[in-house]
Structure formats: C-alpha cells, structure tokens
Structure 1
Amino acid sequence: MPDDAHPDLLKLAKEVAIEAGKAVLEVYENRDFDAYQKDDDSPVTSADYLANDIINKRLSEATPDIPILSEENKHASLEERKHWSRYWLIDPIDGTQEFIARSGDFAVNIALIENNEPTIGVIFWPPGQSIYYAQKGKGAFKSSPEGDRPISVRKLSDPNSSVVMIAISRRQSREKVLNRMCAKRIYNMLPLGSCSLKSCFIAEGKADVFMRIGITGEWDTGASQCIVSEAGGSITTANFEPLTYNKRHSLENPDFVVMGDQRVPWQDIVQYDDYENPYTK
C-alpha cells in the first residue's frame, strides 16, 4: 500500500487506543479478569490480552503492510525486524500491577516507529478519560473532558535552583531512585503508577523528572518518547545516551531518565555511578 493510501495514522492510533482502553476500563470496573505470571515473573491479565487482541485486529485491518511489535505478541527475531522501515510498537496495558492493585494508574500505549525512531505516540489513560498524543514535528497534545489543548514541559523560574518535582513509582523503592538523583537539589515527589503516565505528567508540566530503574521494554518508552520530545523534554538512558529501537536482539530497555525543562543541568542532578550500559555489551 503506498503512503498516500494510508489512513491518517495518528487518528487511527488514537481511535484504536480509545477502543482498547474502554474495553479494559469495563473489565477494570467489573473486576472481571484473571491474573497470571509470565516467565520473567512480571504480571499479565486477561485484560492485557483483550486489549492486545483489539489493537492487533484494528491495526492489521487498517494497515496490513505495517508490522506490529507488541509486548503480548510473539516477538519477531532481529533478522526479521531489521528489515522493518516502520512498525507499530504496542503496550496493551502499561501498568498492569496498578491495574491489579486498582490504583487507576494504567494506560494503553501505541507508537509508530519509523527508521528506528518514534514518530507517533498515543497514550490513553482510561480512568482519567485522557489521551496524550504527538506526531514528530507537530507538537504534543492532551484531550480530556476539559477539552483539547497543546501541552509542554514546565519551565522552571530558575533552571539552576528551582525546586524540581520528581514523578516516582508507587511500587519501586524510593530510596533506590533518590540515592541516584537530586542529591544537590531541593525536590518534591509525585507518586504515580505506570511509566507512561509519569512521562505524560512531565510532558504536561505536572512533574519535572522521572528515573526508571529496572527491566522495561521498548514498548514502555516508544509512545512516551514521542510525546515528551514534542512537549520540549527528552528521554535518554541513565547516562544520557539516546534510547534505541529495533537495533538489538533484546527488546529490553536500559535504565532511563525522563526530563522536562532542557535548561536544567540534569547531568549534575542525576548521579548514576553504577550504571551499566547494555547497549555496549
């Protein structure tokens, strides 16, 4: 299918994320789901599989020539993936632990990766009735019951001394994160669940920085990276190197940092001396 025959891919991604998210929200509200443990000990539920089925079906029908890489699908080998000039990158439910724990901090993530770079990012937060979205070069936006609006990272009054707001996990050890950042800076903390919602809160100026320590996949950052970048922020590895997409056999991310105001000296704030870069292994 030639490019000009494709539907509006951003519009499609938004529609599909909302459809999947509404189905997940119905399961969440009815408490009608089964929970399982994957081989890597991470949780998954029947709601994850439901969302995955909806997303795969809709995207496959609308864009049959664009491959799909989802957390919940069988993953193609790098030998196959390296020939993909673009593909959909999906996390059917980001924040499955939060879904199970009923905190409401979970989201549906859909990204389009082109030439190893996120160019479309859509994150739908069903309990918050909000969708965050961006397309490369066209800015970042949020739609909610309050309306549609462009979003951008918070500009600190003094990038060198203003109090920063850290988005921090409800589940991960706070000490583990705080020992590696903000030792020389006054900060406040905003507890949140899923990685993507922390990134969205940074993109809309409700928080300034978030560090993720531990295993995640490329589907955890694809949509977020597009949205945060278009909002004026950035996502990098913990030693400030670019994240990569579809370049390695492993689809695991290294530890990473999401940063808002780019005038802030983040490399002075984030001190991560024990970082091991898996990209160099």
Structure 2
Amino acid sequence: MTDYSTEVLLDIAKRAALKAGAAVLEIYDSGDYESYAKADESPVTSADYHANEIIMDMLRTETPDIPIMSEETKQGTLADRAHWQRYWLIDPIDGTQEFIARSGDFAVNIALIENNMPKIGVIFWPPGQSLYYASKGKGAYKESPEGTERISVRKLDKPEDSVVIIAISRRQSREKVFSRMSAKRVYQTLPLGSCSLKACFIAEGKADVFMRLGVTGEWDTGASQCIVTEAGGKILAADFEPLTYNQRNSVENPDFVVLGDQRVDWRDIVQYH
C-alpha cells in the first residue's frame, strides 16, 4: 500500500469535495435533475449519482490502492471488507431530502477511515460556501469566503445550568426530541437539515447537542466524527457507546448523539432510554 501522508490525503479529500459540491450546486440552482426512491423508500437524485461519480473518479485516480465505500454503491459483505486497514467513506449528498425541498441544508461528506476509526473528515456545504475539515490530532477548521479559521465547540459559561442549544431537524418532531431531553435544563433550538451540517454547527460553536433517531449509515457520521472530535466534542451512539466502522455486516448506524462541551454531564441531559 502506498504510504500517502495525511496532508496529501486531506488535500485530495478537500479537492474532491469542492469539485463535487460545485457540480451539485450548479444542478441545484438549475433545478435540472431527476428524483428516485431507493428500495428503503429514501430519496436519491441524479445529482447524488453525479457527485458520487466525480468523487469516486478522483479518489480512484489519485489513491488507486485505497478502497472506497459510498452510500451510492454496493457495500459488499463484511468478509469482503474485513481486510481494509484504511478506506474512503463518502456520502455524495448528505441531506438529499433537503436538496429536493430546496432548503439549502445539504453537504458533501468525505472521510478516511483507518483502523476502523475516522482519521480525516471533510464536509463541504455548497450553498454556504463553507468547507469544514479535520485530521486526527491536527484540529478542526472552516474555510469560507471570510477566510480560514480553527473551530471549536462552544464552552458553556456554567456547564451545570447554561441554556443548551439543540440542533434539530427541520422534519423531526420537536416533541420527540424534547421527550429525550432532561426537563431540568433550559433549551433553545436551531433548525437545520442534514446530519453533517448539524455536527459542523456544533463543531464551530453554534449549537451544543444533536440527537439523531432513525436510520443512518456510517457515511453519515465518519467525516462529522473526525471534525467534531478535533473541535473538542464527541459523537457517540445514543446509549453513549462508541460508534463502529466496518466492523459489522450492516453499515447502518445506531441512533447517535453529537455532543459539544465535554465539561457538561451529557448523560444527565440526553435521556435516550
């Protein structure tokens, strides 16, 4: 296996995300795309497939010996994947439903998984022209028209009783979310679309917590987990167990939570049971 440096791999992932994101934004602005329903009835569009092709082509050209797992390709069985020491994990458009609904809350996700943990994470938000990225041990960053900045989770003035900002789906029941949160705290909500954008907003300090209830894939959390962790937060299964990558036949995630300030006793706030 070629010994690529982390810096080279991060640069490849950033360029792939930007190229795919630009193509997706052009399609989004034109409105010229087709929508389909997958076997599980989740939506997919010709824009997802086009972005997937762009990313796959670039990764295969520049890192031909690194396997790729994508939401829009067949994942194979665990036996097929078990020998992968590192691989690319991509979601060409996270938030396809938001893309179709024209909320602007969709993103391109690219992660590099090494030894079953995210090592590189890149998330590009085309309508916001914002590129979030991180590599293990190097911090988390955001590039936008305003420049490049290192980002970190919001530090609550009083971790034990400050107002907690919940990133919440535009299409998820508020009652369902609040039923899982302790009544002992005061909350504000920040409505957003895709899972990865909620995670990025927590990473840059605009929200504190997000709970995802429902079916997602490992590609929905790989890039986010690297970015949030490097920003000082965590992504865990909703029962506070670690998420796993490429260790089960199924590539579906359990319900999960994105957590900001680690001084907060999140187990006392997020009541999953």
Q: What range describes the TM-score normalised by the shorter chain of this pair?
A: over 0.9
**CA displacement 1:34-57 (0-9 Å, x = unmatched):** 000000010000000000000000
1:124 is the counterpart of 2:128: no
- Cα contact 1:6–1:63 (8 A) shared by 2: no
Q: Say if 2:112 is the partner of 1:97.
A: no
**Residue 3 of structure 1: SS of its match in structure 2?**
coil
Q: Quote the residue 2:115 is aligned against.
A: 115
Identify the residue that residue 279 of structure 1 maps to in structure 2.
Answer: none
Q: What root-mean-square deviation, in Å, do the aligned CA atoms of Structure 1 and Structure 2 show?
A: 1.0
User: Which residue of 1 is the match for residue 195 of structure 2?
Assistant: 195
The residue type paired with residue 111 of structure 1 is A
Aligned partners of 2:68 and 2:4: how far apart in 1?
A: 20
Shift of 1:187: 0.5
Distance (whole Å) between structure 2 residues aligned to residue 271 and residue 4 of structure 1: 42
What's the offset of the Cα at 1:270?
Answer: 0.6
- Residues 121 and 224, structure 1, Cα contact 8 Å, conserved in 2: yes
Q: Any gaps of 5 or more consecutive residues in structure 1?
A: 274-281
Kept in 2: contact 1:7–1:62 (CA 8 A) = no
Q: Distance in 1 between matches of 2:147 and 2:231?
A: 18
Question: Can you list the C-alpha shifts for 1:100-152, whole angstroms capped at 9, x where unaligned?
Answer: 00000000000000000000000000000000000000000000000001000
The normalised TM-score by structure 2 is 0.98
State the distance in 2 between where 1:215 and 1:225 align: 17
Contact 2:34 2:46 in 1 (8 A): yes
Residue 180 of structure 1 corresponds to 180
SS at match of 2:198: helix
The amino acid that maps onto 2:131 is I
Q: After the TM superposition, which residues 183-262 of structure 1 pair with which residues of structure 2 at under 5 Å, given as runs?
A: 183-262=183-262
Amino acid at match of 1:110: I
- The aligned residue for residue 13 of structure 1 is 13
Q: 1:149 to 1:6 in 2, by over 3 A?
A: closer
Aligned residue for 2:50, secondary structure, equals helix
User: 1:278 aligns to what?
Assistant: none
Q: Measure, in 2, the Cα distance between the counterparts of 1:61 and 1:184.
A: 53
Instruction: Name the CA distance, whole Å, in 2 between partners of 1:150 and 1:2.
Output: 30
Instruction: Tell me how far apart the structure 2 counterparts of residues 180 and 212 of structure 1 sit (CA, whole Å).
Output: 11
What is the number of equivalent residue pairs in this alignment?
273
Q: How does 1:164-179 map to 2 (within 5 A)?
A: 164-179=164-179
**Partner Cα distance (2:75, 2:117) in 1:** 19
Whole-angstrom distance in 2 between the partners of 1:7 and 1:126: 23
Q: Is the 8 A contact 1:111 1:118 kept in 2?
A: yes
Q: Is the 8 A contact 1:167 1:209 kept in 2?
A: yes
Mapped to 1, the partners of 2:150 and 2:156 lie a distance apart of 18
The Cα shift of 1:247 comes to: 0.2
Q: How does the TM-score come out when normalised to structure 1?
A: 0.96
| Match of residue 44 from structure 1 | 44
> Can you list the C-alpha shifts for 1:65-109, whole angstroms capped at 9, x where unaligned?
000000001112100111000000000000000000000000000
* CA pair 174-64 structure 1, distance change in 2 beyond 3 A: same
Residues 6, 135 of structure 2: 8 Å contact kept: no
1:8 alignment partner, SS class: helix
Q: CA deviation at 1:2?
A: 2.5
Judged with a 3 Å threshold, the aligned counterparts in structure 2 of structure 1 residues 66 and 249 are, in CA distance, closer, same or farther, namely same
| TM-superposed deviation, 1:160 | 0.3
Asked if structure 1 preserves the Cα contact closer than 8 Å seen for 2:106 and 2:194, the reply is yes
Asked whether the equivalents of residues 99 and 106 of structure 2 are also in contact (C-alpha less than 8 Å), the reply is yes
Partner of 1:268: 268
Secondary structure of 1:216 counterpart: coil
Residue matched to 1:153: 153
Cα distance, 1:251 vs structure 2: 0.3
Query: For residues 173 and 186 of structure 1, what CA distance do their matches in structure 2 show?
Result: 18
- Show the counterpart of 2:85: 85
Contact 2:52 2:72 in 1 (8 A): yes
Deviates more, 1:74-83 or 1:104-113: 74-83
Identify unmatched segments of 5+ residues in structure 2: none
